[in-house]
C-alpha cells in the first residue's frame, strides 16, 4: 500500500482545474492503514534526516499553503514529529511588519531560508502575495510599489510579473542547493465548515477560531480561482506543487510524509567519509590508555 505521488503532482506546463481534484481522495488507504504507515514514515524521515544533516550539501524548503482549517499545523506536528529539532525549523508568516514592507515581498522569506543540512517549513509563504493580495488587491498598496497607485494597475500583467519573480527566486535558491517541495492542502467548503463549527463547539479549541475566518470564507470562489492560478503558473520542474486531498487528515499526513521522504531519497545522500582506519585506531589506543 502506497501513495500515488504522480497523481498528486501538478505537472509543470499543464493547466489543471481544481474541480478535477477530489478533496476526499484517499487512494487505497483507510484510516487505520494510514496511521500505521505514518508511524513507519516518521521513523524513515528521522533516519534520513540525520544523513541529510551530515551530508551538508543541500537544504530543504517545505511550503504549505491552504485555506483556513485545512490542517497545516497538524500536518507539521504529525509528519515531522520524529525529526531532530536541531535540524528543522517552522516559520509561520503573519502580516508583514513596517520594516518588512520597506523591502520587496520576498525579502523577509529570504531571511528565513534554511542553511545547508537544515529543513525549513514555511507555514504560509511568499505565495500569500499572489493569493490574499489577489483577492484583496488593495492590500498591494501597503507595499508602496512605484507606479502602482490604483487597483486598475494591479492587472493581469502585474500578476504575471509576480509569478515570474517567484519562479526566478525559486530557481536561484535551487541552484544554490535548496530543494523545494510545495504542498497545497485541498479542503472542501463543507469540510471547512465542519472544522469551524468544531472549533466553536469545543471550548479548548475556541482559541483557534477567528471571526476573520468567516469573513474570508465569503470569498471562497475567488480564493479557489487564485489557488488554481498559483498552481498553474508556479509549478516547475525544480519546485513542483502537490495537491494534497485534505478532507481526511489521516490521508493528507501520510501523503505529505511519503513525498518528503521520496525527495530526500532521490538526493542520494551520503555520510561524510571518516578518517583513515589507522587514524581511528590510534585515537582508540589513546583513549584506552588514559
pLDDT tens digits for range 37-87 = 999 999 999 999 999 999 999 999 999 999 999 999 999 999 998 888 889
Please check the confidence at residue 228 and state whether its pLDDT lies above 80. Answer: yes
Distances (CA, A) of 73 to 51, 69, 79, 172: 26, 9, 10, 28
Instruction: Please list, in sequence order, all residues whose beta carbon lies within 8 angstroms of the beta carbon of residue 267, skipping any fewer than 6 positions away.
Output: 52, 55, 58, 179
- Cell numbers given for 50: 540525520
**Section 178-195 average pLDDT:** 97
Count Cβ neighbours within 10 Å for each residue of 32-61 and write b for 16 or more, e otherwise. ebbeebbeebbebbeebbeebbebeebbbb
Contact 66, 187 (CB under 8 A): yes
Please check the confidence at residue 111 and state whether its pLDDT lies above 90. Answer: yes
Please check the confidence at residue 224 and state whether its pLDDT lies above 70. Answer: yes
Q: Please, what sign has the CA dihedral across residues 90, 94, 99, 105?
A: positive
Percent of the chain with pLDDT over 70: 100
Look over the chain and give the mean of its residue pLDDT values, rounded to a whole number.
95
What structural domains does the chain harbor?
5-288 (3.40.50.300)
Tens digit of each residue's pLDDT (9 = 90 or more) over 243-259: 999 999 999 999 999 99
pLDDT at position 1: 65
Burial of 234 (0-12, 13-18, 19+ CB in 10 A): buried
Amino acid at each position: 500500500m502506497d501513495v500515488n505521488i504522480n497523481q498528486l503532482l501538478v505537472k509543470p506546463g499543464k493547466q489543471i482545474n481544481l474541480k478535477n481534484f477530489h478533496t476526499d481522495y484517499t487512494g487505497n488507504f483507510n484510516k487505520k492503514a494510514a496511521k500505521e504507515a505514518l508511524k513507519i514514515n516518521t521513523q524513515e524521515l528521522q533516519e534520513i534526516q540525520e544523513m541529510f544533516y551530515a551530508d551538508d550539501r543541500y537544504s530543504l524548503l517545505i511550503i504549505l499553503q491552504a485555506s483556513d482549517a485545512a490542517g497545516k499545523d497538524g500536518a507539521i506536528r504529525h509528519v515531522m514529529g520524529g525529526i531532530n529539532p536541531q535540524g528543522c525549523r517552522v516559520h509561520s508568516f503573519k502580516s508583514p511588519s513596517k520594516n518588512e514592507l520597506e523591502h520587496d515581498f520576498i525579502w523577509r522569506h529570504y531571511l528565513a531560508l534554511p542553511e545547508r543540512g537544515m529543513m525549513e517549513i514555511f507555514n504560509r509563504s511568499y505565495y500569500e502575495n499572489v493569493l490574499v493580495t489577489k483577492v484583496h488587491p488593495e492590500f498591494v498598496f501597503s507595499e508602496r510599489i512605484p507606479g502602482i497607485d490604483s487597483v486598475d494597475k494591479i492587472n493581469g500583467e502585474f500578476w504575471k510579473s509576480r509569478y515570474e519573480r517567484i519562479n526566478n527566486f525559486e530557481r536561484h535558491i535551487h541552484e544554490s542547493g535548496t530543494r523545494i517541495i510545495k504542498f497545497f492542502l485541498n479542503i472542501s467548503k463543507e469540510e471547512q465548515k465542519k472544522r469551524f463549527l468544531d472549533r466553536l463547539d469545543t471550548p479548548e479549541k475556541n482559541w483557534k477560531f477567528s471571526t476573520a475566518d468567516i469573513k474570508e470564507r465569503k470569498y471562497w470562489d475567488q480564493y479557489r480561482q487564485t489557488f488554481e492560478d498559483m498552481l498553474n503558473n508556479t509549478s516547475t520542474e525544480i519546485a513542483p506543487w502537490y495537491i494534497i486531498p485534505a478532507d481526511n487528515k489521516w490521508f493528507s499526513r501520510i501523503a505529505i510524509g511519503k513525498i518528503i521522504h521520496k525527495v530526500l531519497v532521490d538526493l542520494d545522500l551520503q555520510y561524510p567519509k571518516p578518517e583513515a582506519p589507522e587514524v581511528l585506531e590510534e585515537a582508540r589506543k589513546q583513549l584506552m590508555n588514559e
